[in-house]
Amino acid sequence: MNFFEHQRAARGTTLKLVFLFAAAVVALVAAIDAAAVITMVYLSEDYGQLDPSSVLALVIVVTAITLLVIAGGMLFKTLSLRQGGSAVAAAVGAVPVDPTTTDPQLRRFVNIVEEMSLASGVPAPRLFVMPSEPGINAFAAGFTPADAAIAVTGGALAQLNRDELQGVIGHEFSHILNGDMRLNIRLIGLLSGILLIGMIGLRVLQFGGRGSDSKGALPFVAFAFAMMVLGYIGVFFANVIKAAVARQREWLADASAVQFTRQTAGLEGALKKIGGIPTGSRLRNSRNATEVSHMLFGEGTRRSFASLFATHPPLADRIKALNPGFNPAEIAELQQQYAQHAPDGLAEDVAAGFAPAGTALGRPTPAPAQTPASAQHTSPEQVVARAGTFTPADLKYGAALHARLPDDVRMLATQATTAPAAIIALLLAPPTEGLQARQLATVVEHLGPTQAREAAALADQMRGLAPELRLPVVALALPQIATHPRAEQDALITVLDALAHADARVTMFEYCVTRLVWNYVLDTNDPSRRSRVGNGSLNDVRPVATTLLAALAAAGGADQVTANRSLDGALHRLYGDTARAENPRRLSWQQTLDGGWAALDALDPRAKQALVEAMVEAVLHDGTVTAAEAELLRAACSLMHVPLPALLG
Encode pLDDT of 11-59 as tens digits.
666 667 677 777 878 888 888 888 888 877 777 765 556 677 888 888 8
Contact 248, 175 (CB under 8 A): no
300 has pLDDT over 70: yes
Per residue in 325-373, pLDDT (tens digit) is: 888 889 999 999 998 888 999 988 888 776 654 444 544 444 444 445 5
> Residue 397: which of 648, 226, 83 has the closest Cα?
648
Active site residue 172: yes
Mean pLDDT of 257-270: 78
CA–CA distance from 450 to each of 39, 162, 488 (Å)? 70, 38, 14
Q: 176 with 52, same domain?
A: yes
User: Is 603 in a helix, a strand, or coil?
Assistant: strand
Share of the chain above pLDDT 90, in %: 27
Phi-psi region of 575 (alpha: psi -120 to 50; beta: other; left: phi over 0): alpha
Query: Are residues 411 and 543 located together in one domain of the fold?
Result: no
Residue 104 lies in a domain: yes
**Comparison of pLDDT for 539 and 214, the residue scoring more:** 539
Tell me the per-residue pLDDT of 604-616, one tens digit each, with 9 for 90 and over.
988 999 999 999 9
Q: Are residues 416 and 507 both part of a single domain? A: yes
Given this model, what pLDDT does residue 6 score? 63
| Angle formed by the axes of helices 419-426 and 435-447, nearest 10° | 150
* 138 and 261 share one domain: yes
* Domain shared by 107 and 253, yes or no: yes
Specify if 644 maps to a domain: no
In a domain, residue 487? The reply is yes
Q: Which range of residues forms the domain containing residue 166? A: 10-365
CA 228 to chain centre: 35
Q: Kindly state whether residues 350 and 384 are assigned to the same domain.
A: no
Q: What is the tally of structural domains in the chain? A: 3
Both 359 and 272 in one domain: the answer is: yes
From the list 115, 133, 164, 172, the catalytic residue is 172
Q: How many residues does the chain have?
A: 649
Strand ranges, E, within 15-163: 95-96, 126-130, 138-141, 149-153
Choose among 453, 452, 457, 462: nearest CA to 406. Answer: 462
Q: Among 150, 144, 76, 41, which residue's Cα sits nearest to residue 106?
A: 150
Q: Within this chain, do residues 361 and 245 fall inside the same structural domain, yes or no? A: yes
- Distance between CA atoms of 196 and 74, rounded to whole angstroms? 9
Q: With beta carbons less than 8 A apart as the criterion, state whether 275 and 328 touch.
A: no
Please give the pLDDT value at position 161: 93
Read off φ and ψ for residue 96, nearest 5 degrees: -65, 150
Q: Residue 2, exposed/middle/buried by CB under 10 A (0-12, 13-18, 19+)?
A: middle
Residues 303 and 440 in one domain: no
Q: Could you say which of 484, 509, 530 is where a domain stops?
A: 530
Q: Is 101 found in the same domain as 166?
A: yes
Nearest residue to 605 via CA among 542, 537, 522, 552: 537
DSSP annotation of 376: G
